[in-house]
Structure 1
Amino acid sequence: MTVQTWFVTGASAGIGRAVVEHLLEAGHRVAATARKPEVLDDLKKQHPDLLWTAVLDVTDTAVLREVVARAFAELGRIDVVFSNAGRGAVGAAEELSDAAIDEQIALNMTAPIQLFRAVVPRLRGQGGGRFIQMSTMGAHISGPGAGMYHASKWGVEGFFESVVGEVAPFGIGVTMIEPGVIRTGFGAALSVADPLPVYADTPVGQVHQAVQTLGNLTATAPGDPVKVAAAIIASVDTAPVPRRIALGSDAHTAIRAALTGRLEEVDAGEALARSIDYPAPAGR
Structure 2
Amino acid sequence: MTKKTWLITGVSSGFGHALTTQLLEKGDTVIGTVRNFAKIQDLIEQYPDTFISEKLDVTDVPAIHTLVNKVASEHKIDVLVNNAGYGLFGAAEELSDEQVDKIIATDLTGSIQMIRSILPYMRQQNSGRIIQISSYGGQVAYPGNSMYHAAKFGIEGFCEAVAQEVAQFNIGLTIVEPGGARTEFRYGSAKVADPIPAYDGPTHAFMKMLDPANGLAPGDPKRMASRIIESADQTPAPLHMVLGSEALKNTIERLETRVAEYKSETELAASTDFPVDEK
TM range (shorter): over 0.9
Q: Secondary structure at the match of 1:264?
A: helix
State how many pairs are aligned: 277
Corresponding residue number in structure 1 for 2:184: 185
AA matched with 2:91: A
Give the Å deviation of 1:212. 5.2
Confirm or deny: 8 A CA contact 1:136 1:178 kept in the other structure: yes
Q: Which amino acid aligns with 1:22?
A: Q
* 1:146 to 1:191, Cα distance in 2 relative to 1, 3 A: same
Q: Distance in 2 between matches of 1:261 and 1:185?
A: 32
Greater Cα offset, 95-104 or 38-47: 38-47
1:276 CA drift (Å): 2.2
Structure 2 counterpart of 1:56: 56
Letter in 2 for 1:79: D
Q: CA deviation at 1:177?
A: 0.2
Provide the aligned C-alpha RMSD in A: 1.4
2:208 to 210, 214, 219: 210
Which residue in the other structure is 2:262 paired with? 266
Shift of 1:97: 0.6
Amino acid of the structure 1 residue aligned with 2:79 = V
- More displaced stretch, 65-74 vs 140-149: 65-74
Secondary structure at the counterpart of residue 246 of structure 1: strand
- Residue 13 of structure 1: how far off its partner (Å): 0.2
Identity level (%): 42
Is 1:251 aligned to residue 235 of structure 2?
Answer: no
Aligned-partner Cα distance in 2 for 1:226–1:212: 20
Distance 1:78 1:184 in 2: 27
- The runs of at least 4 consecutive aligned structure 1 residues that moved more than 4 Å come to none
Return the alpha-carbon distance in structure 1 between the equivalents of residues 213 and 81 of structure 2. Answer: 28
If the length of structure 1 is used for normalisation, what is the TM-score? 0.94
CA contact (8 A) 1:136 1:179 kept: yes
SS in 2 for 1:173: strand
> Retained in 2: the 8 A contact 1:222–1:249?
no
The aligned amino acid for 1:45 is E
CA shift digits 1:113-144 (9 cap, x unpaired): 10011100011112210011000000111111
Provide the rounded CA distance (Å) in 1 between the counterparts of 2:213 and 2:172. 37
| Partner Cα separation in structure 2 for residue 205 and residue 26 of structure 1 | 42
- What secondary structure is seen at the aligned counterpart in 1 of 2:232? helix
- Unpaired runs of 5+ residues, structure 2, are none
The residue type paired with residue 95 of structure 2 is L
- Name the CA distance, whole Å, in 2 between partners of 1:8 and 1:206: 32
